[in-house]
Chains A and B, each alone.
Chain A
């Protein structure tokens, strides 16, 4: 988090982490598609010719609070290929929360575990305390054969404290739910550390409502959680 009182500006950094080809870039593309252009920048992607992330993807989303505080949420993805570990570590610097995009196929478990350990190591290298930086796990590609069943996912969920979201990112399913969960975790952790409500008058509800005010949540679980919106209108 970067909090600049002089410029009345708060920057929150979210990093999409996970093995190669698990769907990190796809997640960001879906968020980009669903967000109206006035509140986001262009989706910056740097890919190789075969669509593998080379350095990172970046999607900035911004809004102003009722108090006139500028809030920028920067969504990053890391490159998943093994050789890009140094880049992964650099992109992870200063992350406020992590969305761990796992491939939910049974055969991918070993790969997921390896990247989970890699995440912990790189957090430590960056002086981030793995116990302090919240992580949300997305089980992506649930449309594919060999995907873990709900019961199996429930079983692995119990191994840790991280919230778990099922997804088919390629169809936009679970993408916004993951974003919501990771932003909520990030906010709670920042609130505990920096007292955002007290210091800049920004509460969890306003934060989440404002971010999603210009994101089309039609057909997602979030329709039930967020206040109904008038299309195109600012809150």
Chain B
């Protein structure tokens, strides 16, 4: 799915747009050419460049006095972090009229020493993203150095020394410094534009490369998954063919074999033994019939040809009917069969024959996978609101104390032809279709089927069915749609 937020969605900072090293070189060149110090800050006050010239000795001397240090710190603070507005001691610079329009936003901040600073905001796409500070310089218009604000900082302040030291500071009219500053501003805009372009494109290049990789990986993953699924399907299909041919051939062979024996008069008139033979023929015939009908059912479902017939029905009667058809098997196997039914239950709607098939399939499995002496129970609950369905419904639970199902197979056992043990030597018969049919029919009713199990202790299948199946009278069960049709052409 979606990537992380792109650089295009973020605010670009001054620092990201400027390459610090080359920017510092440019600033140094400017400083040396015009002999005025330049500082550049971003809008958070972080320093991007700071090149000083000429004022070091003078400022150092002033700074050596505690009061000088205090006043100096205040001035520097004003220049760096103070508002870009005509307040806190800032005023408009004195400029020749032709410069005024271009110098919009420029401020003069006087220093208590008589020196001065000029500040100009860095504008970018309508925002102020930082500031440039020029200075300190000695204003041309300052007649008598040193002013009282400087001399008063200490008793022992040496005016003569200060005068000598301040001589190294560039002396110029405000207007001259302002011109240099405008020139610098234009250069800065060009550098920012180039820097922004470099920054955005290099970032975007990285983002696009990462995104391409991500897409490739996803595609590989999908292919691998599809491949695994195909292999699995293939394996299932072969297992199915083996099973079906085995399951079909064995009863047929029996029928033929025993019939032959009868026909050849090997048994003579029907005695006890013969009765057994005939029973065997009947049993095998039934097995074959069931299997063939399951295969028929599933192929009908997969071809999307099954219609459910919803009509009012009595769920208690449904369970009882299913149980009675299971009794012979249960007795033969020697497991206990128990039913917990509500005393009285509301009428529900459903396809009686299909639901009966569902319950018989579940009970058949329960009996089949439970060893002699085990226990099988079926429970029906009364109608109540079902959170799984978000509608009123009822539940049917089929539990056994049998071999159990590994948790990682809970989904797979509902696939057609899937069996936990599909080896040819498996001890239980069947074609792996029972649960696939269960699932299709239950979902055709708008219900759900769930399984819980503990290996060696038993399994529980839970059906949650709505009182009224969610759709209209007749429902067509169709296999899941996997491909999506492309949107219609717009042009």
Contact = CB atoms under 8 A, between A and B. Distances in A.
A204 to B, nearest CB: 21
A194 interface: no
B205 A55 contact: yes
Contacts of B283: none
A72 B6 contact: no
Given A42-B193, A120-B487, A125 B6 contact: no
Contacts of A56: 8, 204
A90 B8 contact: yes
A116 B201 contact: no
B8 A89 contact: no
Contacts of B200: 44, 55, 58
Contacts of A125: 1-2
A230 interface: no
A149 to B, nearest CB: 14
A44 B196 contact: yes
Nearest to A116: B490
Nearest to A113: B489
By DSSP majority rule, is chain A's interface helix, strand, loop, or mixed? mixed
Interface string A158-198: 01100000000000000000000000000000000000000
B491 A70 contact: no
A127 B490 contact: no
A91 B489 contact: no
Interface string B1-37: 1110110110000000000000000000000000000
Contacts of A159: 488-490
Contacts of A46: 197, 201
Interface in B62-92: none
B6 A90 contact: yes
A74 B201 CA distance: 16
Interface string B179-218: 0000000000000010011001100110111011001000
Nearest to A42: B193
B97 interface: no
Nearest to A79: B208
A87 B204 contact: yes
A203 interface: no
B125 A62 contact: yes
B160 interface: no
Contacts of A87: 204, 208
B208 A90 contact: yes
A161 to B, nearest CB: 11
A153 B488 CA distance: 17
A5 interface: no
A49 to B, nearest CB: 15
B12 to A, nearest CB: 11
A44 B205 CA distance: 16
B486 interface: yes
B3 A62 contact: no
A23 to B, nearest CB: 15
Given A42-B193, A116-B490, A126-B2, A94 B211 contact: no
A44 B197 contact: yes
B126 interface: yes
A70 B209 CA distance: 34
Contacts of B5: 93
B489 to A, nearest CB: 5
A86 B208 contact: yes
A60 B2 contact: no
Interface in B269-283: none
A72 B491 contact: no
A127 B208 CA distance: 17
Contact of B125 (A60, A93, A109): A60
Contacts of A156: 490-491
Contacts of B486: 117
A126 B124 CA distance: 28
Nearest to A109: B491
Nearest to B190: A42
A76 interface: yes
Contacts of B197: 44, 46
B2 A72 contact: no
Contacts of B488: 159
B84 to A, nearest CB: 15
B1 A117 contact: no
Contacts of B6: 90-91, 93
Given A46-B197, A113-B489, A160-B490, A127 B204 contact: no
Contacts of A89: 3, 211
A102 interface: yes
A55 B126 contact: no
B61 to A, nearest CB: 43
A41 B125 contact: yes
Contacts of A91: 6, 8
B3 A117 contact: no
A55 B6 CA distance: 13
B204 A102 contact: no
A112 B209 CA distance: 26
A94 B419 CA distance: 49
Nearest to A111: B491
Interface in B465-491: 486-491
Given A55-B200, A125-B2, 11 more contacts: A39-B126, A44-B196, A60-B126, A62-B125, A90-B211, A93-B5, A93-B9, A94-B9, A112-B491, A116-B490, A127-B1
Interface of B: 1-3, 5-6, 8-9, 124-127, 193, 196-197, 200-201, 204-205, 207-209, 211-212, 215, 486-491
27 contacts: A2-B9, A41-B125, A55-B200, A58-B200, A63-B126, A72-B125, A76-B8, A86-B207, A89-B211, A90-B3, A90-B208, A90-B211, A91-B8, A93-B2, A93-B5, A93-B6, A102-B491, A108-B491, A112-B490, A113-B489, A116-B487, A116-B489, A117-B486, A120-B487, A156-B490, A156-B491, A159-B490
The 3 lowest CB-CB distance pairs between A and B, nearest first, are: A62-B126, A112-B491, A86-B211
